Amino acid sequence: MNSQEDVKKQYEVTDNLDIRIALHEKYSSNKQGFGSWIFSHYQFKTASANTVRVLDVGCGTADLWAENYANLPVNVDLILTDYSKGMVAASTLKMEQYQNVQCERADIMDLPFDANSFDVVTANMMLYHVPDLEGALKEVHRVLKSDGVFYTSTFGTPSLAQTLGSWLSHFTGVVDSPETFTLQNGAASLKTCFTDVVRLDYPDSLEVTDARDLLAYVYSLPEVFHLKDTQRQDVLSVLASHKVDGVISIPKEYGLFVCRP
């Protein structure tokens, strides 16, 4: 899903995103939490006396930063951006109690910042939405300092959406769809702009005991699955049919790329 109009609709409000986050929080087998794991790999030049400028592109509801704010060095200046006005409003509300944090709307394909102005840039679980990936990566490279670091997380294939799509192909008519930025193909795209690209993997899976939660996840992505409300009970039955000993097990492959210019 990398149509700007589809992405705009999907992230106008936080409800659908909240549903998807809740599924992972409730049923992920790795209890460290993906956000905590991502943050544990961030490096902020704590020995520097100068302000460390950090830009997050596609911050969503800013959960990662709110949950880990206490672990940020005091010299960090944090700018959170998102393409969606709804996400910017949500992150502004969540982060207003914290110092040295700005929230604003920005498009990764046309970042409103000076060249060579950030020590760290992050983009989590969002590059697969970008229509012009090459242009977006060039923009990240432009605003990143020559000794800076770009961190970007994504999923592997088959993704959760692809697995569910294959189960529900009878309803959707779509058996599979290519993903534009994954753990498998992301490094090749990143290496067009960055000389040093390292992949880190986060082992995880979903162990779902209530198929209704998985149903809510599916219907939180209307632009992906295109299901009708009248199909809910039939979709629920298909999802529940994948239970083994009361559990729907779905492998999850997630990870992080650490990139330097």
Mean pLDDT of the 200-222 span: 95
Q: In which region does residue 243 sit, left (phi positive, over 0), alpha (psi from -120 to 50) or beta (all else)? A: beta
HSE value, Cβ hemisphere, 13 Å, CA-based, for 108: 30
Mean pLDDT of the 169-190 span: 82
Mean pLDDT of the 137-151 span: 97
Distance in angstroms (rounded) separating the CA atoms of residues 193 and 64: 26
| DSSP H/E element including 10 | helix 4-10
- Pairing relationship of beta strands 144-155 and 118-124 according to DSSP bridges: parallel
Alpha-carbon radius of gyration of the chain:
19
Confidence of residue 31 (pLDDT cuts 50, 70, 90): very high
> According to the model, what pLDDT value does residue 159 have?
86
Helix (H, G, I), strand (E, B) or coil at 150: strand
Mean pLDDT of the 171-197 span: 85
- Mean pLDDT score across all residues of the chain: 91
Confidence of residue 32 (pLDDT cuts 50, 70, 90): very high
Kindly state the DSSP code that residue 1 receives in the 8-state scheme: -
Kindly state the DSSP code that residue 75 receives in the 8-state scheme: T
| DSSP H/E element including 207 | strand 196-208
> Residue 169 above 60 pLDDT?
yes
Distance in angstroms (rounded) separating the CA atoms of residues 70 and 188: 35
Distance in angstroms (rounded) separating the CA atoms of residues 126 and 203: 20
Q: Any idea which fold 4-160+178-211+251-260 has?
A: Rossmann fold (3.40.50)
> Residue 12 above 80 pLDDT?
no
Mean pLDDT of the 7-22 span: 71
Confidence of residue 3 (pLDDT cuts 50, 70, 90): very low
Mean pLDDT of the 57-69 span: 97
- Per mean pLDDT, which range of 4-18, 124-138, 202-216 is the poorest? 4-18
